[in-house]
A and B are shown apart, each in its own frame.
Chain A
Amino acid sequence: MSSSLAAKLPQDADPLGLRRQLARADRRRKWRAFALTLPLLVFLLLTFLVPIAALLKRAVENPEVANALPRTVVELRAWQRQDVPAPEAFAALVRDLGALTDSSYAGALARRLNSEAPGARSLIMTTYRALPLEGTDAASPPALFKERLLALDARWGQTKYWEAIAKNGSRWTPDYLLTAVDLRRDPQGSIERVDPGQRVFGAILLRTFGISALVTLWCLVLGYPLAYWLSTLPARRANVLMILVLVPFWTSILVRVAAWIVLLQSEGLVNHALMGLHLIDQPLALLFNRTGVVIAMTHILLPFMILPLYSVMAGVPPTYLRAAVSLGSPPLAAFVRVYVPQTYPGIGAGALLVFILSIGYYVTPALLGGPSDQMLSYYIAQYTNVTVNWGMACALGALLLAATLVLYATYRRVTKTELSLG
């Protein structure tokens, strides 16, 4: 634009100078525009990017052992992980534990090691409370420390606790992320799958995607005809009906979930109605299983499908369909081959929106599902609130984030468009 402006001013003696001036003005304008968006950018940085960065950092952070047992970690570096470590490691452990200034450090260490080697919690805490060991001082030979520790708790003779310490000596760990995809490092450091009895997150991730896909499909099946019908109505009536779509959308999720509990329970309205019509003899199990979760999630997410569909359909001229029919196409074929392809952007946007919202669902499956219907977020909440293992919670959060980003990238690759929400 600046070059075309410059070309219109041939009488200027110094075209280069003018161009420079224009470029400067242009730059100033851009800066001003940028300054206007600055508050929003800062807001996004503080409320969105910083927390995500902190989450990712916590998923690989592993300070407990390195902070609490620095000398032991050094002593264990040369250990072959075959037999019980050398007496020097026992002596270093006693010195490290004795040097902890606050019992909360021992508690954090015990928690970290216990999630690697069950039993480590009581082992660390009984040892910590028993310090200083009877008959030892700083000058005692390492062998004496070993003898006393084994006398205090014979479990110090098992390699699994030492392996847990040696493995977590570094400040950063891939372990939480590996656990989130059912992998682990063996004592030698190579990566392997966990035992079948402990494999859980792979299946949960698949289940999360499965439920989300089912909900997306139901939303599409129910939302498409409704959006189509709305788009064919005169604007005034369409608006009235749109309010009916939006009112539940504005109601609290908890209220809607509680309402579904009332409707679906075995002596609830739905079962009473079906039994009253003699369609069934026994009440159907609609609650605390997959059925209840899918019904309620479909209901809650339906507006997210209808709104993008409607906005795309409202822009499709009805003349194309009429033209196809007047050229001899049967109405149904005309609808499928002429109309539906024009609504693909709406289907794509609605499906992606519903799917991405679904994979993060927590409250609805927690209240309406059984243990085999819980999605990934439930386990994130469990690790955050109950187990207080935030490394694991963050690793699962990172997994969910990665899944969402991959989905979005795939969507862009397949449709070659930006996500349009109308």
Chain B
Amino acid sequence: MKTSTLVATLALALSLPALAQQQLTVVNFGGANANAQKKAFYEPFEKTGTKVVAVEYNGEQAKIKVMVDTKNVTWDVVEVESPDVARGCDEGLFEKLDYAKIGNKADFVPAAVTDCGIGIFVWSTVMAYNGDKLKVGPKTWADFWDVKKFPGKRGMRKGARYNLEFALMADGVKPADVYKTLATKEGADRAFKKLGELKSSIQWWEAGAQPPQFLVAGDVVMTTVYNGRIDAANREGKNLVIGWTGGIYDLDYWVIPKGDPNKDAALKFIAFASTPSAQAEYAKNIAYGPTNTKALAKLDAKTLSNLPTAPANAKDALQFNLKFWADQGEDLEKRFASWATN
């Protein structure tokens, strides 16, 4: 190679990091949620001069761990589920957030404010059915378990999380007592036994996009589902109906992987996405509740009535117990694998 070419290549290579600083890599869970984020967060934020590169993932924390361990962090802002915020924060995977640069902590719902992550939106795992195929749908988890009244398959998320809570509620446990019961050995046995009653009728799903497809295709008569996915399907002209009773609501969070070279820009993005106007815009695009309470005033009554945070919807709902699953998750998931095998 000629010296001049070499110099040119070197110069180009050296200038690449400088170019990279103009852009921010934001990682999300894809699907309808990603589209809403694009409209509410990425596109308006790009007007401030930083290009946003959206990347999709399935919540695998291993990728973040590898980046942090090898000190080669290429993801700047990552959307993670609540169990991973606490776990990753404990294990040093995420930067501690500087709330002075984000906003007033008091503006957010209490669960949204944590050391390493700030809540993006409130979502709920609920039951749903196809209003075109089922005139009278299930109202409670006991109905969901009633295969005589509603014959047919049920879609459920593959794994122990949520399903054990639903099983206990179907067995007559009050939402307020679910986690207390599940923490005992007898309670866990009871949940697995109840889940066993439904086992032959369950069709399992893993990706959030699957359950609405199952409903539309007629593979299942009812399913558990993330509420926003039903909203997205109904925007495309489907007639899917949500039953809010006994739903489990939870938050997704923004985090910054530890050692991120673009930390300042990442914080700016998070601050932007947490403003009332961006949060309201997001809720208009997908029926997930804003974490910034000031955004609620900017929403009309119809949008509000579809959110998991609406009083009518939250009335009989259960808040996901992060601490319980951080402690018992590995054990229960292993037991679930054993249960599914036998």
Q: Do A and B bind each other?
A: yes
Q: Give me the interface of A with B, judged by CB distance under 8 Å.
A: 102-104, 106-108, 110-111, 114-115, 118-122, 125, 197-200, 203-204, 207, 265-267, 288, 366, 370-372, 379, 384-389
Q: Judge whether B218 and A267 touch: CB under 8 Å.
A: yes
The verdict on B140 contacting chain A, using a C-beta distance below 8 Å, is no
Size of the B side of the interface (Cβ < 8 Å), in residues, is: 36
For the complex, give the distance between the alpha carbons of A102 and B62 in Å.
Answer: 20
Contact among B92, B93, B326 for A121, CB-based, below 8 A: B326
Contact among A108, A118, A379 for B330, CB-based, below 8 A: A118
For the complex, give the distance between the alpha carbons of A259 and B34 in Å.
Answer: 26
For the complex, give the distance between the alpha carbons of A197 and B342 in Å.
Answer: 10
Contact among B60, B326, B336, B341 for A385, CB-based, below 8 A: B60
Q: Give me the interface of B with A, judged by CB distance under 8 Å.
A: 58-63, 65, 87, 89-93, 158, 203-204, 206, 217-219, 323, 326-328, 330-331, 333-342
Within the complex, what minimum Cβ distance (angstroms) separates B162 from chain A?
14
Contact among A102, A118, A204, A386 for B59, CB-based, below 8 A: A386
Q: Judge whether B203 and A370 touch: CB under 8 Å.
A: yes
| Chain B residues in 8 Å Cβ range of A366 | 206
Closest residue of chain A to B337 (Cβ to Cβ) is A200
| Chain A residues in 8 Å Cβ range of B327 | 114, 118-122
Q: Judge whether B341 and A267 touch: CB under 8 Å.
A: no
Closest residue of chain B to A289 (Cβ to Cβ) is B203
Q: Judge whether A114 and B341 touch: CB under 8 Å.
A: no
Q: Judge whether B90 and A203 touch: CB under 8 Å.
A: no
Within the complex, what minimum Cβ distance (angstroms) separates A130 from chain B?
14
User: Known contacts A107-B87, A111-B87, A118-B327; is A372 also within 8 Å of B340 by CB?
Assistant: yes
For the complex, give the distance between the alpha carbons of A102 and B92 in Å.
Answer: 8
For the complex, give the distance between the alpha carbons of A371 and B326 in Å.
Answer: 22
Closest residue of chain A to B155 (Cβ to Cβ) is A288
Within the complex, what minimum Cβ distance (angstroms) separates B82 from chain A?
14
For the complex, give the distance between the alpha carbons of A199 and B63 in Å.
Answer: 29
* Interface class of chain B by DSSP: helix
Closest residue of chain B to A129 (Cβ to Cβ) is B90
For the complex, give the distance between the alpha carbons of A198 and B323 in Å.
Answer: 22
Q: Judge whether A370 and B204 touch: CB under 8 Å.
A: yes
Pick 8 A–B contacts, CB within 8 A, sort by A. Answer: A114-B326, A118-B330, A118-B331, A197-B339, A198-B331, A200-B334, A203-B342, A371-B336
Q: Judge whether B330 and A114 touch: CB under 8 Å.
A: yes
For the complex, give the distance between the alpha carbons of A422 and B245 in Å.
Answer: 63
Centre residue among B62, B63, B93, B323 by max chain A CB count within 10 A: B62
Q: Judge whether B158 and A103 touch: CB under 8 Å.
A: no
Contact among B91, B158, B323, B337 for A107, CB-based, below 8 A: B91
| Chain A residues in 8 Å Cβ range of B333 | 387
Q: Judge whether A103 and B92 touch: CB under 8 Å.
A: yes
Q: Judge whether A103 and B60 touch: CB under 8 Å.
A: no
Q: Judge whether A388 and B338 touch: CB under 8 Å.
A: no
Contact among B58, B91, B335 for A198, CB-based, below 8 A: B335
Within the complex, what minimum Cβ distance (angstroms) separates A155 from chain B?
10
For the complex, give the distance between the alpha carbons of A110 and B327 in Å.
Answer: 10
For the complex, give the distance between the alpha carbons of A121 and B342 in Å.
Answer: 29
| Chain A residues in 8 Å Cβ range of B334 | 198, 200
| Chain B residues in 8 Å Cβ range of A121 | 87, 90, 326-327
Contact among A115, A120, A379 for B337, CB-based, below 8 A: A379
Q: Judge whether A288 and B62 touch: CB under 8 Å.
A: no
| Chain B residues in 8 Å Cβ range of A120 | 327
Contact among B92, B206, B341 for A372, CB-based, below 8 A: B341
Within the complex, what minimum Cβ distance (angstroms) separates A8 from chain B?
54
| Chain A residues in 8 Å Cβ range of B62 | 384-386, 388
A118-B331, A204-B337, A370-B158 given; 19 more Cβ-contact pairs under 8 Å: A104-B91, A104-B92, A107-B89, A111-B90, A118-B330, A119-B328, A121-B327, A198-B331, A198-B338, A200-B341, A203-B338, A204-B341, A207-B341, A266-B218, A267-B218, A371-B204, A371-B341, A385-B60, A385-B63
Q: Judge whether A267 and B217 touch: CB under 8 Å.
A: yes
Q: Judge whether B219 and A265 touch: CB under 8 Å.
A: yes
Q: Judge whether B90 and A103 touch: CB under 8 Å.
A: yes
| Chain B residues in 8 Å Cβ range of A386 | 59-62
Q: Judge whether A266 and B219 touch: CB under 8 Å.
A: yes
Q: Judge whether B217 and A265 touch: CB under 8 Å.
A: yes
| Chain A residues in 8 Å Cβ range of B336 | 371
For the complex, give the distance between the alpha carbons of A19 and B137 in Å.
Answer: 94
For the complex, give the distance between the alpha carbons of A386 and B59 in Å.
Answer: 7
Q: Judge whether A197 and B335 touch: CB under 8 Å.
A: yes
Q: Judge whether B338 and A389 touch: CB under 8 Å.
A: no
Nearest 4 A/B pairs, CB to CB: A104-B92, A107-B91, A107-B90, A371-B340
